[in-house]
Structure 1
Amino acid sequence: MRTATLFLSAALMLAAAPAQAELPEGARAMIEAAMATGDEAKVATVLDLARSTWPDDAAEIDVLSEQWNTALAARKAEEAEAKTKAIRSAGLFDRWRGEGELGAFQSSGNTDSVGVAASLKLERKGIDWNHLIRLRADFQRQNGATSREQFLAAYEPRWQFAENVFAYGLAQYERDRIQGFSGRYSVSGGLGYRVLNTDDVQFSVKAGPAYRVTEFVDGTSASRLAGLVGLDFDWQIIDRLKLTQDVNALAETGGEATIIFDSSNTSINLVTGLDFQVSDRLRSRLSYQIDYDSNPPAGAVSTDTLTRATLIYGF
């Protein structure tokens, strides 16, 4: 009898309690519509607005939020798996991206002239391996004679075997008769470290041994063991403006330089660039380049400078 009385009292209390408020249908439709877009920022905004507008329905909103987070995590995992699968099954000539650069330059040092500068960069990013190919040419004829003839071709593979540590290789060819050599071949390999890697600032260093063969314009040649040191610093100053200051054989953002030193000669190729994003594919660049050789051939000076104003198109 006592048990029946307690049961009846509890039933009466539940019947007398106010029914839990349900989230209005319009609010639920608004949240579901935001989730259907797949836009994380939009969903977060709508959920925050719903919680502040219908605080009594916070529990139901939290359930919807948890469902969204579960679905989002599953979608990202599926996309990551598909991306990894696509990379692993890609052919040798797939997944390459590039950019072409064309513009004018003004030089001082061994020559005082203006001319044409052109370059092409191709890049392939994988899971652990990145490949970078770079071609560059500066050429001018003045008063019927060639006053500048500078070419560069380089290939750099990189293996990212830890979060911030990588191994690199480099094979590079240069030709610059004004500086006194008809061909210079360099190979290098070593280790690098990413010191900073944020949305606005990237900074990495690398170093390794190198071997260099130089063919001079007078017909002689020299080959030596050397060392290579590289620095790469990029700073996104504002939304569309980026500063590149790189001491690096090849750089992803447009500035590049090489420091190779041996017992008799140290060469530096340093480029500082300022990039302005015109559109998704088009950038303008103003860059200043210094080419330095501590022991140049007879008749050549140690330092050449080059100022470029170019347009870059990505593809």
Structure 2
Amino acid sequence: MLTLATAAATSTAALAQSALDTSAAEDRIETLNEDIADDFERDTPQFGNEGRATGFSGSFALQGSATSGNTDTATLGIGANMGYYDGLNGYDLQLSYQFSENEGVTDEDSLLYELEYTRDFGRSYYGFAKLQGNVERLPFDTSDNFLGVGVGYRVFDTPDVQWAVQAGAGYRVAELNSVDDLSEGALALSSNYYNQFTDTMALTNDTDIIASDSDTVVYNDLGVNVRMTETLALRTSVVTEYHTDPEPGKKDTDNTFGVSVVYSFD
């Protein structure tokens, strides 16, 4: 009985402390709203440097936190998105760094990066060169890097229907724990499709295919946005990832089904 009473008292105190934290519910709701907004804010496919303003653009974000007392933790997140466009040539750099430490032990130390050059060849074509990858020191000492070049073509470009396709070839160099180090050529195909059926309903479908000797991966993101009333909106989506040669013990296909509903009193 003493153990049960002690547990109940501890639980009650924890609930009381949580209830007194007036920002906890607000923060959780804000995070949920941001996630739903990301689902709905699917832009129409961008074709090359279409719509870009000349000059520099970009943003820099820094987030950090630390705790001391019962637990000692520290986290740091850095994000940078920088670009330049001269009217014909586009340059873009994206960096994302994450670090976390718990009780003096580092449990994450990773960097994601992407550098891309884009040049327009007219209204229907563009060329690109891209270097992208990740370097992860912890929890695994791995890296995966890809350098590729290719061209893009605009199939449809109307106010209601936009479809752009992209194809390229490149070389991948990776140091992975689960398999031997990789050094191989790869082909990449992409398709971005947008169709505004009515004033209240739109369909999007994005497909990416990366083919190499070790594995061919297909990513497909299908979504439908429906604004049912002035105050009620719905988005449903299916994200599929398919591998021709999955890792041992894993299935070749993963599906993620999503539903987002927004009701506004405003």
Deviations 1:126-172 (A, max 9, x none): 53345667899xxxxxxxxxxxxxx9765544322211011123334
How far is the alpha carbon of 1:225 from its aligned partner?
A: 0.3
Alignment partners' CA distance in 1, 2:191 and 2:82: 19
Deviations 1:235-264 (A, max 9, x none): 1112243211122xxxxxxxxxx2111234
Match of 2:218 in 1: 268
Alignment partners' CA distance in 2, 1:230 and 1:163: 19
* Corresponding residue pairs, total: 171
Matches within 5 A, 1:186-225: 186-218=146-178, 220-225=180-185
Deviations 1:198-223 (A, max 9, x none): 10111122211122234434363212
Q: Amino acid of the residue matched to residue 242 of structure 1?
A: A
Matches within 5 A, 1:12-51: none
Question: Does structure 2 conserve the Cα–Cα contact (< 8 Å) formed by 1:123 and 1:130?
Answer: no
Alignment partners' CA distance in 2, 1:169 and 1:131: 10
How far is the alpha carbon of 1:307 from its aligned partner?
A: 2.2
Change (3 A) 1:265 1:218: closer
Q: Equivalent pairs: percent with the same residue?
A: 24
How far is the alpha carbon of 1:122 from its aligned partner?
A: 6.5
Deviations 1:38-94 (A, max 9, x none): xxxxxxxxxxxxxxxxxxxxxxxxxxxxxxxxxxxxxxxxxxxxxx9x944x3x3x3
Q: Amino acid of the residue matched to residue 229 of structure 1?
A: L
Point out the structure with max Rg over C-alpha. 1
Change (3 A) 1:292 1:131: farther
Matches within 5 A, 1:126-137: 126=85, 127-129=87-89
Change (3 A) 1:269 1:198: same
Q: Amino acid of the residue matched to residue 218 of structure 2?
A: I
Alignment partners' CA distance in 2, 1:304 and 1:163: 37
Question: Does structure 2 conserve the Cα–Cα contact (< 8 Å) formed by 1:121 and 1:132?
Answer: no
For the residue of structure 2 that corresponds to 1:238, the secondary structure is coil
Alignment partners' CA distance in 2, 1:163 and 1:300: 44
Change (3 A) 1:285 1:295: same
**Aligned-pair Cα RMSD in Å:** 4.2
Matches within 5 A, 1:50-129: 87-88=53-54, 90=55, 92=56, 94=57, 96=58, 126=85, 127-129=87-89
How far is the alpha carbon of 1:173 from its aligned partner?
A: 3.3
Hey, which of these two has a bigger chunk of helix by percent? 1
Matches within 5 A, 1:292-307: 292-307=242-257
Match of 1:167 in 2: 127
Picking from 222, 227, 234, the partner of 2:194 is 234
Alignment partners' CA distance in 2, 1:124 and 1:237: 33
Alignment partners' CA distance in 2, 1:241 and 1:121: 34
Unaligned ranges ≥5, structure 1 = 1-83, 98-119, 137-150, 176-180, 248-257
Match of 1:244 in 2: 204
Change (3 A) 1:154 1:203: same
Q: Amino acid of the residue matched to residue 176 of structure 2?
A: F
Alignment partners' CA distance in 1, 2:114 and 2:201: 27
Match of 2:73 in 1: none
For the residue of structure 2 that corresponds to 1:295, the secondary structure is coil
Match of 1:100 in 2: none
Change (3 A) 1:87 1:235: closer
* 2:237 corresponds to 1:287: yes
Alignment partners' CA distance in 2, 1:121 and 1:272: 28
